[in-house]
Amino acid sequence: QVQLVESGGGLVQTGGSLRLSCAASGLTFSNYGMGWFRQAPGKERTFVGSITRIGGITYYADSVKGRFTISRDNAKNMMYLQMNSLKPEDTAIYYCAGGRTVLGRAESEFEYWGQGTQVTVSS
């Protein structure tokens, strides 16, 4: 079956960096647009960014634009989220998602989800 497994979360100070990874299995990875979402405590899950199937185009939420970078390695069935200049408001559970979408932004465009990884940014 399809599995998406996030890793790389943790505790970091304001201004620090983290790199999240998403390992995909059970699907032809290059056929899927991929995305990152996050859910802060007590809030709804929100869009972070997405990347096209081949990885040539990315799209980001305004709140992370210029600080976060999404990439993927189709040969390894991996997607990454490089997070720089982290802020306390970036604290959330981060989820990777896959769908038959070009550059999805809505949860409904993604059919497969990981279990999430916690990112905590201390002030």
Question: For residue range 80-90, what is the model confidence (pLDDT) as tens digits?
Answer: 999 999 999 99
Looking at residue 122, the DSSP 8-state letter turns out to be E
Residue 68: its pLDDT value, please?
98
Residue 122: closest CA among 86, 93, 94: 86
pLDDT > 70: percent of the chain: 100
Stretch 53-62: mean pLDDT: 92
pLDDT at position 55:
76
Chain center to CA of 16: 17
Q: Please tell me the predicted confidence (pLDDT) of residue 15.
A: 98
